[in-house]
Chain A
Amino acid sequence: MATSAPTAGAAAPELSAQQPRSLWADAMHRLLRNRAAVAGVCVVLIYILIALFAPLLAPKNPVEQTARNSLRPPVWVTDNPNRMPNPANLLGTDSNGRDILSRLIFGTRVSLIVGVVPQLIILGLGVTVGLVSGFNGGWIDNLLMRITEIVAAFPDLLFIITLTVAFRDTLFGKALGGLLLIFTALAAVSWTGMARLVRGQVLSLKEKEFVEAARALGIPTGQILARHILPNTMAPIIVSVSFSIPGLIISEAILTFLGVGMRPSVDLANPLPTSLGQMMQEGFSNLSSGPWMLLFPVAMISSLVLAFTFVGDGLRDALDPRDREG
């Protein structure tokens, strides 16, 4: 143990002896002691607040275009006499003369939805299939895993194109600027990695002594899965989830790049006018003329993703049943 870090569990005592707090209170306690995780939680909370109170925070309407005000730099960039900032636009304007700060604030909404909501489907399907497949083995495992291969090869992009064209005039196609449809489709094909990850863990876990013991004691399969196996697969699940958040935020931007992304809107009252991913994509095509159009959304996405990562790792550490001390 000499190599492990001094801050956490340097001298973990006999572990199974004590059980002073409930599992959750204990986990919360340890999560709060992890400084990186606390910082992450704060950042995520700030983002959520920004998303919730966007209309109050945004200095301008994010959709409103101002004539002769396009591609203005942020207020502190004054080195180009041909292109002076407009004091009204703190972080500058985009190619249509819209206020970048306000768009960033509103864009947080979609990116949060997009990064988090599909996870529920991915988790639900992926974990279930992984557990069933790994625990049963045999032909069930084989069948389920072949199905994941088929789903992984599913032509999702084509399918999304077909759906968006077919449903473009219906409520389903229009909901959340078309995102509801896209993300139902995306989540429906993104769970396969999770399923294989969980299955791999279960394959190994089910041969372990404590599972054998539980079986010998006649504990029902469902309980073994829920009580003994699932908690031990948490680590890779959490990492995978916190990792697929940027994946989803970015794939929304990629879809825009490929021409099937979120629908733009000129409705001044639109609650979801843009997303960070979309702003990143717009920024990339205006990179030479307006680098700030890329810089700010990228910074927002990165900090959001970093925050989720630290929260995820903190959670993992906190929930680790063998990692309890004090």
Chain B
Amino acid sequence: MQIRNLRNTATLVLMLVLAVPILTACGGAPAAPAATQTAKPTTAAAAPTVAPKPSAAPAATAPAATAPVATAPAATAPAATAILGPAQSGVLRIRMPGGSGAEPDNVDPQQASFVSEIAFIMMGYQGLMTFDKNMKPIPGAAESVKVSTDGLTYTFKIRPDSKYSDGTPLTAKNFEYAWHRLANPETAGQYQGLACGIIKGYSEWSVAACQGKTMTETLALDLKKLEADYGVKAIDDRTLQIELTAPAPYFLSMAALWIGAPVREQDAAKGSDWWYTPENYIGNGPFVLKEWDHGSKAVWEVNPNYVGPLGPIKLKRVEYYMITESQVAFQAYQNDELDMLNVAAEDLSAVQSDPVLSKQIVNAVGTCTFYFGFNNTKPPFNDIKVRQAFAQAFDREAWVRDIFNGLGNPTQSFIPPGFPGYQPDLKLWSFDPAAAKASIAASTYGSVDKLPEIKLTYSASVRNNARFEWVANQLKMNLGISAVLDPIDPTAYSALTKDKTTSPQMYYLGWCADYPDPQNWISLFQTTGQLADRIGFSNPALDKLIKQADAEQDAAKRADLYAQAQKILVEAAPVAFLQNDGGPWLIKPYVKGVAQENITPIDYWEGFFNMPNVDVQP
């Protein structure tokens, strides 16, 4: 029995395994609440930082041994209610922007593509342009911009004495590097396709993203020459010139995006995950990344070297907290640990009926339009009459009221309110069940019971289950159609919706603005556009108008062309537009400068483009 000799050794190993956590922490888990409780008044009073420095830790444990029972003072002293500390002047604490509250996965400006990533990048960097409160592109890092009369050459003058947050100079060369990095096939960023065909030489150099060439084919090209022919050049330290292939009046908006953020060569050279370490994340944006506790929080401090329209900045610090569960975030807000919070539809009625919270509501307009996409190649939606019938059979008011608790607003057209190109009077498919039935009678099917089975395919989640149960109920009541619910795993669902041959018969989709220009909306419905392609929609008249509008330099004429295009789009009803997102944020009364009149839909967090006026004064 050799095993007996091992008994002592094994016991020792087991003891060690168990001892590690004891040594590191657990020690007196049940006793600890009292310990930290007593420590609160001292730490909160002495160093009321929201992100306590290590110096606070010894203080937190010291008094515990001597005064184990001290719950009473903490309960009476209002300042001591939060260990993280209550709000303090100049510090804004928010949930990580971008919907899910999750940590961004990649914040390299030339590779990023998701909302949360962009909200992160634009704290640390500023593009050549930025936006004002009315979503007009205005000079950002650039002091001025000149557009040649043919609309092909853009000359940006960088602000004098521009510096990065660490004090090193920022020149036109830095922007040249960033815009070259965007196009460089080596970068292989997800938004690389956005500028294809717009900047001169872009499509030729970025052959993989723009022309679908393989990496091997790309490497066989004379990349040096292609880079030399690329239309982005620094003329001198303060002048950057960008040449386009064709006039593109929306290019100034594009120059305000994260894709042209001036990443420094020496930072990017530190490896593919250079952006992971705050020391490398040096930019020219309004804030500097001081601390990034991945998966937990990111702490931004104001950039003393910032120049641009977002300054002078009153805030001293902004803190992003990665809270993925919205119920937890809601509790944190109520517990005074967050200063602003977007309200989930599910929480709205609790907020509205609460005497305190209801006074902290600020209504915001969203950047997205949601709609039912019909697969125009599959029966019965290859029949325009059926599509129009479904567009009319849907009670948008009730949808917004019942499912979103009034969050957002019903719409019948594509471009949302507040955005250039919005047409408030474009209402062709108001709720009218009788007209809808008549429309079906006029279709090739003749009557509702001759329609094939309608399957509502959607991305499965608790929230969507409730929504689509509601939708199915509507179809039943308004048209007498018994639809089948078909939830699918979200990623598998995304894969299905990419191509018209696999995309479902009828499904719920949305589009959110990249930049405020009708081109960013309407062009997606030309035959080759991303949204038209996945539902198999094609309308030659629409294609022609869009092509004309995209290159039109006269602003009024251009707006009119887009308006005509949108009208054709709504009439053809390839999709049924339903509602825009948006709705309330909760904002503590001590947060200044964030109110209904000075927030814009494209704010990275509410009030971002009103930065000079935003402050926290508890």
Direct contact of A and B (CB under 8 A): yes
- Chain A interfacial positions (CB closer than 8 Å to B): 65, 67-68, 70-71, 80, 82-83, 94-97, 161, 164-165, 168, 256-257, 259-261, 263-267, 278, 281-282, 284-290
Q: B36 near A: Cβ within 8 Å?
A: no
Whether B462 lies near A285 (C-beta < 8 A) is yes
Chain A residues whose C-beta falls within 8 Å of the C-beta of B346 in the assembled complex: 95, 285-289
Give the Cβ gap from B507 to chain A, nearest Cβ, in Å.
14
Q: A97-B402, A285-B463, A288-B351 are in contact. List 4 more A-B contacts (CB 8 A).
A: A83-B349, A95-B466, A165-B488, A257-B461
Interface residues of B in 59-76 (CB under 8 A from A): none
Chain B residues whose C-beta falls within 8 Å of the C-beta of A71 in the assembled complex: 349
Cβ 8 A contact of A266, one of B350, B352, B473: B473
Interface residues of B in 316-350 (CB under 8 A from A): 327, 330, 346-350
Q: B169 near A: Cβ within 8 Å?
A: no
Cβ 8 A contact of B350, one of A267, A278, A288: A288
Closest to B463 in A: A285
Whether A259 lies near B490 (C-beta < 8 A) is yes
Chain A residues whose C-beta falls within 8 Å of the C-beta of B488 in the assembled complex: 164-165, 168
Closest to B395 in A: A67
Q: B215 near A: Cβ within 8 Å?
A: no
Docked complex Cα distance between A281 and B492 (Å): 22
Docked complex Cα distance between A290 and B345 (Å): 12
Whether B469 lies near A264 (C-beta < 8 A) is yes
Docked complex Cα distance between A65 and B349 (Å): 19
Whether B485 lies near A265 (C-beta < 8 A) is yes
Say yes or no: A261-B327 contact (C-beta < 8 A), given A165-B492, A286-B346.
no
Q: B420 near A: Cβ within 8 Å?
A: no
> Which 6 A-B pairs give the minimum distances between C-beta atoms?
A288-B350, A259-B460, A266-B472, A289-B350, A289-B349, A264-B465
Give the Cβ gap from B153 to chain A, nearest Cβ, in Å.
50
Give the Cβ gap from B47 to chain A, nearest Cβ, in Å.
33
Chain B residues whose C-beta falls within 8 Å of the C-beta of A260 in the assembled complex: 460, 489
Whether B462 lies near A257 (C-beta < 8 A) is yes
Chain A residues whose C-beta falls within 8 Å of the C-beta of B470 in the assembled complex: 65, 96
Say yes or no: A259-B461 contact (C-beta < 8 A), given A65-B469, A70-B402.
yes
Docked complex Cα distance between A257 and B462 (Å): 6
Give the Cβ gap from B92 to chain A, nearest Cβ, in Å.
23
Say yes or no: A288-B466 contact (C-beta < 8 A), given A71-B349, A95-B346, A259-B490.
no
Whether A264 lies near B398 (C-beta < 8 A) is no
Give the Cβ gap from A145 to chain B, nearest Cβ, in Å.
17
Whether A168 lies near B486 (C-beta < 8 A) is yes
Chain A residues whose C-beta falls within 8 Å of the C-beta of B350 in the assembled complex: 288-289
Whether A263 lies near B490 (C-beta < 8 A) is no
Q: B487 near A: Cβ within 8 Å?
A: yes
Whether B327 lies near A65 (C-beta < 8 A) is no
Whether A264 lies near B489 (C-beta < 8 A) is no
Cβ 8 A contact of A264, one of B349, B353, B485: B485
Closest to A178 in B: B487
Give the Cβ gap from A85 to chain B, nearest Cβ, in Å.
14
Q: B608 near A: Cβ within 8 Å?
A: no
Cβ 8 A contact of B327, one of A95, A97, A165, A285: A285
Cβ 8 A contact of A161, one of B402, B472, B492: B492
Whether B476 lies near A82 (C-beta < 8 A) is no
Docked complex Cα distance between A233 and B346 (Å): 48
Chain B residues whose C-beta falls within 8 Å of the C-beta of A80 in the assembled complex: 353
Closest to B334 in A: A288
Docked complex Cα distance between A88 and B23 (Å): 58
Cβ 8 A contact of B485, one of A83, A164, A256, A266: A266
Docked complex Cα distance between A287 and B331 (Å): 11
Q: B81 near A: Cβ within 8 Å?
A: no
Chain B residues whose C-beta falls within 8 Å of the C-beta of A67 in the assembled complex: 398, 402
Chain A residues whose C-beta falls within 8 Å of the C-beta of B462 in the assembled complex: 256-257, 278, 281-282, 285
Chain B residues whose C-beta falls within 8 Å of the C-beta of A265 in the assembled complex: 469, 485
Whether A289 lies near B348 (C-beta < 8 A) is yes
Chain B residues whose C-beta falls within 8 Å of the C-beta of A68 in the assembled complex: 402
Closest to A160 in B: B489
Q: B441 near A: Cβ within 8 Å?
A: no
Whether B327 lies near A164 (C-beta < 8 A) is no
Give the Cβ gap from A322 to chain B, nearest Cβ, in Å.
28
Docked complex Cα distance between A256 and B462 (Å): 6
Q: B468 near A: Cβ within 8 Å?
A: yes
Closest to A83 in B: B353
Interface residues of B in 402-454 (CB under 8 A from A): 402-403, 405
Closest to A265 in B: B485
Say yes or no: A282-B489 contact (C-beta < 8 A), given A83-B353, A266-B483.
no
Closest to B351 in A: A288
Docked complex Cα distance between A161 and B348 (Å): 32
Q: B459 near A: Cβ within 8 Å?
A: yes
Whether A266 lies near B476 (C-beta < 8 A) is yes
Whether B327 lies near A288 (C-beta < 8 A) is yes
Say yes or no: A263-B489 contact (C-beta < 8 A), given A65-B469, A95-B346, A256-B462.
no
The proximity string for B residues 194-215 relative to A, scoring 1 for CB distances below 8 Å and 0 otherwise, is 0000000000000000000000
Chain A residues whose C-beta falls within 8 Å of the C-beta of B398 in the assembled complex: 67
